[in-house]
Amino acid sequence: MGCACGDRPTSLDVGGSAVSVTAGFWLMVLGIVVAPLVGGLLTGLERKVIARFQGRQGPPLVQAFYDLIKLWQKQPRAVNRIQVVYAYAHLFFMIVSLLALLLGQDLLMILFIFSFASVALILGGLSVDSPYSRIGSQREIVQLLVYEPILILMVIAFYKVTGSFMARAAWGLGQPLIYQIPLVLVAFLSVFIIKLRKSPFDLATQLHEPHQELVKGIITEYSGPHLALIELASWYEMVFLLGLVALFWSTSWIGALILAAVFFSLLTLIDNVTPRATYAWMVKFVWKVGLGLAVVNVTCLYLG
């Protein structure tokens, strides 16, 4: 009987399923390196589309990367050290949540880590004395409480259909998730808009054009490379959310890409045809419409 003590592991037991170490490595490279490139290009594409809506030529497609480099080159300034720590924590948790999704990990754990990224941003806003930053943090807390129930119902529906909380369980289904939980997907659109801070739910802050403002809510006191960290995190966040959308049609790469493209197009359209809403209206609308649709879909799953 040979001893395997010195053998190198060729696979990782990730959530009860063997995943090649090499495949896992390249997935992490994909998440860390390729995801921000995709997020930056999507940001540039969004700006071009918005400019065309307004009859303008718009900036170059890679303008978002130029802006990020310019922020990195500025002299770092911060109100206090803890504010900087929270900016790094926000980026770190956003990257980890994306990597966990790419590796097909537990959706409950993924969304838990994703929530930590939001909490880090909130604490960063509360760590300074700026009234604008604190108001933005308070609104971010309200938004967190609004969309979390929808995410929880999404996980419950996912488990009911797949029999597992592991994201990779959707990859081996005979038919896409969208066939059985379409209302949950529609409800997720409101979460998608809130998390990417687009109208009508850009209450806490607005990172991108065309909403040019002097006071930027929760990120008012961030500047230079620290603001670049938050901008970079927003690119990871966009790819992460589009990944969740693609999960609803994960049985086909083409279907997943089409679904993600539809959500991105709807995001851009809604952002440019709707004014900013009040937080009270947001709570009523998301809970009545978004949460209502999710509850109906989950109820039908359990009754059917």
The pLDDT tens digits for 2-52 are 444 444 444 444 444 445 677 777 788 888 999 999 999 999 999 999 888
pTM for this prediction: 0.89
Q: Are strands 17-20 and 11-14 parallel, antiparallel or unpaired?
A: antiparallel
Whether the pLDDT of residue 244 is over 50: the answer is yes
User: 9 lies in a domain?
Assistant: no
CA distances (Å), origin 85, targets 82, 123, 237: 5, 10, 19
Supply the DSSP symbol for 198: -
Q: What is the pLDDT of residue 205?
A: 64
Which residues, at least 6 apart from 122, have a Cβ–Cβ distance to it below 8 Å?
137, 140, 141, 144, 218
User: 6 lies in a domain?
Assistant: no
Whether the pLDDT of residue 128 is over 70: the answer is yes
Q: What is the pLDDT of residue 33?
A: 92
Q: What is the pLDDT of residue 271?
A: 87
Query: pLDDT tens across 165-200, in order?
Result: 999 999 888 899 999 999 999 999 999 999 998 888
- Percentage of the chain modeled with pLDDT above 90: 63
User: 7 lies in a domain?
Assistant: no
Q: What is the pLDDT of residue 215?
A: 54
Which residues, at least 6 apart from 75, have a Cβ–Cβ distance to it below 8 Å?
224
Could you give phi then psi for residue 19, rounded to 5 degrees? -125, 130
Q: What is the DSSP string of 4-71?
A: -TTPPP-EEEETTEEEEHHHHHHHHHIIIIIHHHHHHHHHHHHHHHHHHHTT-----TTHHHHHHHHH
Q: What is the count of structural domains for the chain?
A: 1
Confidence of residue 68 (pLDDT cuts 50, 70, 90): very high
User: 107 lies in a domain?
Assistant: yes
Do 263 and 153 meet the contact criterion of CB atoms below 8 Å apart?
no
Whole-angstrom distance, CA of residue 11 vs CA of residue 21: 5
Range of the domain at 216: 14-303
User: 224 lies in a domain?
Assistant: yes
Minimal CA–CA distance to 234: which of 87, 136, 81, 107? 87
> Which of the pair, 207 or 41, is modelled with greater confidence?
41
User: 8 lies in a domain?
Assistant: no
User: 45 lies in a domain?
Assistant: yes
Look over the chain and give the mean of its residue pLDDT values, rounded to a whole number: 87
Q: What is the pLDDT of residue 12?
A: 47
Q: What is the pLDDT of residue 272?
A: 85
User: 75 lies in a domain?
Assistant: yes
Query: pLDDT tens across 256-282, in order?
Result: 999 999 999 999 999 888 888 888 888
Do 91 and 229 meet the contact criterion of CB atoms below 8 Å apart?
yes
Using DSSP's 3-state secondary structure scheme, residue 176 falls into coil
Q: Which of 13-22, 104-113, 153-162, 167-176 has the lowest mean pLDDT?
A: 13-22
- Percentage of the chain modeled with pLDDT above 70: 89
Q: What is the pLDDT of residue 18?
A: 43
